[in-house]
């Protein structure tokens, strides 16, 4: 009987490890893709300092970049706090749970 429990516990721990590893890998790819897309933000932010004006397109791009940054801000907070790197799998789970939540139907959408 004791061997059966050990075997079940070992199998469950392997499944949990793989699940956390896959979740972490997926979130790492997501974070990297978002950071790559925010690449042009710095030159855009420096325009006023260089005595240039933002165009309408610049303002739209700036809004897009800020939306992207707000989406990855939980990651940045976790990575900036001491010892919080250990919480990254929990953060990934929480963010994934939020992403999979059903959205309310849009008004005027055909149903």
The predicted-structure confidence for 40-67, as pLDDT tens digits, reads as follows 788 888 888 888 999 999 999 989 888 8
Within a domain: 110: no
Contacts of 14 (CB under 8 A, 6+ apart): none
Q: Residues near 41 by Cβ (< 8 Å), separated by ≥ 6?
A: 62, 65, 69
Integer Cα distance of 83 and 78 in angstroms: 9
| Residue 32, domain member (yes or no) | yes
Distance of CA 50 to the CA centre of its chain: 32
Domain membership flag for residue 102: no
**Please, are residues 53 and 47 in contact by the beta-carbon 8 Å criterion?**
yes
Its domain, for residue 14, covers: 2-94
Cβ neighbours of 51 (radius 10 Å)? 6
Question: Is pTM, for the whole model, over 0.85?
Answer: no
- Count: domains in the chain: 1
Number of other CB atoms surrounding residue 39 within 10 Å: 9
- The fraction of the chain above a pLDDT of 90, given in percent, is 8
**Does residue 103 fall inside a structural domain?**
no
8-state DSSP, 57: H
Q: Is residue 69 part of a domain?
A: yes
pLDDT of 31 higher than 90: no
Q: Is residue 42 part of a domain?
A: yes
């Amino acid at each position: 009987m004791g061997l059966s429990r050990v075997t079940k516990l070992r199998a469950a721990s392997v499944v949990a490890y793989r699940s956390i590893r896959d979740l972490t890998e997926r979130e790492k790819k997501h974070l990297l893709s978002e950071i790559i897309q925010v690449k042009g933000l710095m030159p855009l932010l420096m325009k006023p300092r260089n005595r240039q004006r933002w165009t309408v397109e610049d303002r739209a791009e700036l809004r897009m970049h800020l939306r992207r940054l707000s989406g990855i801000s939980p990651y940045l907070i976790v990575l900036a706090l001491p010892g919080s790197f250990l919480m990254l799998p929990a953060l990934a789970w929480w963010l994934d749970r939020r992403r999979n939540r059903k959205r309310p139907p849009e008004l005027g959408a055909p149903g």
